[in-house]
Structure 1
Amino acid sequence: MSKSRTSIVDIARAAGVSKSTVSLVLQGSPLVHEKTREKVNTIIGDLGYVYNRGAANLRQSRSKIIGIVVNDLTNSFFAELAVGMDMMVQSAGYVQFLAHSGESVDRQREVISSMRENGIAGLILSPARGTEVGDIKPLADSGIPVVVVVRNVPGAKVSRLISDNYAGAKAAIRHLISLGHSRIAFMGGFVDTAVFGERLRGYVDALLEANIPFAEELVIHSAPSRAGGVAAVERMMVFAERPTAALCLNDAVAFGVCDGLRSNNIEPGKGFGIIGFDDVIEAKTAVPALTTISVDPQGMGQRAAQLVLKQINAGQNIPESIVTSVRLVVRQSCGAPVKQLEELA
């Protein structure tokens, strides 16, 4: 018998049971006797039958599962983002299927494939590094509503929800300049992500606006993590002329920069000004409290969920593009004016 043409009827005939019994086994129903279940599963394995759970879900009823894939759950920003999504998804009577890609496009493909097999009604995706249009197109073509959040994928014909990275970075640099800083670093991030490019552009334009030359060596690349922030400080320490402040790609990097400064006997906020980006919950309670660009991660997660639910309920996927506003939240980490910093040093 050809494995590619094996059907539930074939399995039922080989097992000596009804078609409905095979269906119950495939669905994991507790109504089937254990010995019957074992017999059916053995025959399924022997015949090489593959259960299309997505098709089954469509036959049974409208799916109540929303897939959520984020690129870095170790970063508290994405954890808060997922919490916001879950709040909205649950209130609408859906459940979330949450997965972590770990910045791996291959892993991302695997989890999305698994989600499709389980019949998701929609997908919210914070893309891994290197995600291309071709990675998203099959989903969009299948009619599954997709919302890309945080990172954009240029050319993808799906909805997107991103923060105003450019305006946020520009506001941060303007604030540091108002405190008297002119040698300001940009720390953390991967060059091949849209978020890095947008925030770097805001950094550069704010410097040029104040007639401060852009110095390429002050863009210190590192992983967008706490460990990356520590590594960025170590690179900075070998500079003949060190910066006096830094805009960090995100809050995780900013916390790492604080760690790295302390290990070099520099007190964050007193000997060096720091601004993060995101405003995660721990930014308020950090020591010193972190000055940052507030993106409102939970609120962003809620809006992403609202967007995918809107498309599911409408029964049609009309791409929408939303850029959320951000704001500068001034706390202690950006420090006193430069003249005061020099007196304290």
Structure 2
Amino acid sequence: MEDSAASKRSVTVADVAKAAKVSKATAARVLGGYGVVSDEIKDRVMAAAAALEYRPNELARSMSTGRSGIIGVVVGDIENAFFSLAVRGISDAARLAGYNVIIANSGEKLDAEKSAVDLLIGKRVDGLIVTPARCDGMGHLQDVRRAGVPLVLFDRSIPELGVDAVTGDDRDAAITATRYMVDQGHRHLAYVSAMDDEGGGLIDTGRISNSAVRERVEGFVSVLKEAGLPHPLHSVRFGATDQQQTDSVVRRLLSEASPPTALLASDSLVGLRIFRSLQSLGLSIPRDVSMISFLDADWTSVTVPPITVIDQHVYDMGKLAGERLVARIERTPLAAERLRVGTSLVVRGSVAAPGG
């Protein structure tokens, strides 16, 4: 009797084409993830491939198409729910188009990002999605462009690079959240970020090397200025890189002569650290301190109280980035652009009037 595993390996594109009642060329386009076919034909071919347990010969496909069928993704911090959800969206879009994904983590370090990009290019990926650790360090990304490898930036934008970028509407999101706290009566606020403190206090938002952080800080500061609140840049604090550092940042803020009554966390990891810091100090949310966090992470809806958040629709961002990269790989004629995915404020129980 023929070994079943050997039988599965022997299923060919011609077998799938016959079962789907299409030509071999059409089946090859669907299974290879290139060219254009109708949804009805694609569904028939994919159903036949699944029924026959077809397994593609990746080496043969790469030789015939000149593609590896793989895209590379470099994210800032896979521990952060923002990036893990984004990768899910990217992977789903890639899989639907017939691509596999290799993921690398930079830890928000430029050198690690450069090494990851070099590694992925060495693997002959068909395209790259990169979250740049610094928007002022793009030499390696220019090299990717010169090599002709399609590139899409995620979460951060570098206009000078001239490539697609998929981001949130960071400035408007920060404006919405900050204005909500100001409208509740808060006059002493702080923005807390995990971004490394690059030395000294913030004197110029234009010097912030991360475009997403820069735009959020600009939104936060603009509302404080609009409300006539003094020293808005003093209200921006970096360095909340782990729990110990966040504890230190929060303690310093609360020990000031006019301590903040409301905090805006730059992401869900920082938000959770702030929540723990306030708990350890015996402070009640929102009675003693109000807070809002970026990202509707799972933990934010199960705390007491549940946390008001900026929902960034991250899965949609990832899916859009994946789709855009596939379009670039398949040479769809599109102008390079920044694609912004809107956000929404989800009001829960972590913001109240100060002293309420």
Superposed pair shares fold, TM > 0.5? yes
> 1:233-260 deviations in whole A, cap 9, x for unaligned?
1221321221111111112111111111
Structure 2 counterpart of 1:199, from 216, 219, 228 = 216
Structure 1 counterpart of 2:322, from 301, 305, 308 = 305
Comparing 98-107 with 211-220, greater Cα deviation is found at 211-220
**Are positions 1:140 and 2:156 aligned together?**
no
Structure 2 counterpart of 1:277, from 270, 274, 294 = 294
Name the counterpart of 1:70.
75
Name the counterpart of 1:338.
354
Q: Distance in 2 between matches of 1:322 and 1:275?
A: 25
Gaps of 5+ in 2: 1-58, 196-207
Kept after mapping to 2: 8 A contact 1:232/1:257: no
**Are positions 1:235 and 2:252 aligned together?**
yes
CA shift in 2, pair 1:138/1:182, >3 Å? same
SS at match of 2:324: helix
Opposite residue 326 of structure 1, the aligned amino acid is T
Structure 1 counterpart of 2:331, from 314, 318, 338 = 314
User: 1:220, CA displacement in angstroms?
Assistant: 1.9
Name the counterpart of 1:4.
none
Opposite residue 353 of structure 2, the aligned amino acid is P
- Name the Cα RMSD after superposition: 2.2
> 1:297-321 deviations in whole A, cap 9, x for unaligned?
1111111101101111226674221
Name the counterpart of 1:172.
177
Q: Would you say how many aligned residue pairs link Structure 1 and Structure 2?
A: 285
> 1:181-204 deviations in whole A, cap 9, x for unaligned?
111111124343222211111111
Larger gyration radius, structure 1 or structure 2: 1
Opposite residue 284 of structure 1, the aligned amino acid is S
> 1:240-288 deviations in whole A, cap 9, x for unaligned?
2211111111121111111111111101222110011122233222332
Opposite residue 75 of structure 1, the aligned amino acid is N
Kept after mapping to 2: 8 A contact 1:226/1:254: no
Map 1:7-156; keep pairs closer than 5 Å.
Answer: 59-61=63-65, 62-129=67-134, 132-156=137-161
Name the counterpart of 2:226.
209
CA shift in 2, pair 1:308/1:227, >3 Å? farther
User: 1:80, CA displacement in angstroms?
Assistant: 1.0
> 1:53-78 deviations in whole A, cap 9, x for unaligned?
xx998645322101011011121111
Map 1:288-299; keep pairs closer than 5 Å.
Answer: 288-299=305-316
Q: Distance in 2 between matches of 1:161 and 1:234?
A: 36
CA shift in 2, pair 1:156/1:114, >3 Å? same
Name the counterpart of 1:220.
237
Q: Distance in 2 between matches of 1:324 and 1:105?
A: 25
TM-score, normalised to structure 1's length? 0.77
Kept after mapping to 1: 8 A contact 2:287/2:355: no
> 1:141-183 deviations in whole A, cap 9, x for unaligned?
2221100011222411211111111101111111001111111
Gaps of 5+ in 1: 1-54, 341-345
User: 1:292, CA displacement in angstroms?
Assistant: 1.4
